[in-house]
Amino acid sequence: MACKVLPIALMCSLAVPVVAHAETEDAIRTHITGNAFEARRMGIRLQMTFIEGGTIAMQAPMGTREGTWLLSGTELCIETPRGGIQCGQAQITANGGITLGNGQTLNPAN
């Protein structure tokens, strides 16, 4: 019976997102401002640098663009020219990235 319980416990633990802990607005703002993060959209790598004042400098294989960001509490909204506005509850992940709670994850850029 113990052999059957272990695989189930492992499956359950892998399903939990890896988030360091709940953050405050100030902690999230400090973490993202001036830093670059990477996202993948339809297999294309997009690097986003969050600039103080709410601008995002974006770099992709097809060129550079600008977007905007707004943080209210822990809700981070990102507006991009082609992606529209996406908002979600931001949390800092264990690897230093950001998860938005809407399925989008921004990993630290290398």
- Structural tokens at position 55: 């601008």
Question: Residue 22 — pLDDT band, cuts 50, 70, 90?
Answer: low
pLDDT of residue 42: 78
- How far, in Å, are 23, 60, 82, 99 from residue 93 at the CA level? 10, 23, 26, 7
41-97 pLDDT, tens per residue? 778 888 999 999 999 999 988 899 999 999 999 999 999 887 789 899 999 999 999
Mean pLDDT of the chain, nearest integer: 81
CA 21 from centre of chain: 14
Domain boundaries, the chain: 18-108
Question: Residue 10 — pLDDT band, cuts 50, 70, 90?
Answer: very low
Rounded to the nearest 5 degrees, what angle is found at the Cα of 65, between the Cα atoms of 61 and 67?
A: 130
Q: What is the pTM of this model?
A: 0.75
The CATH architecture annotation of domain 18-108 reads Beta Barrel (2.40)
pLDDT of residue 15: 37
pLDDT of residue 1: 39
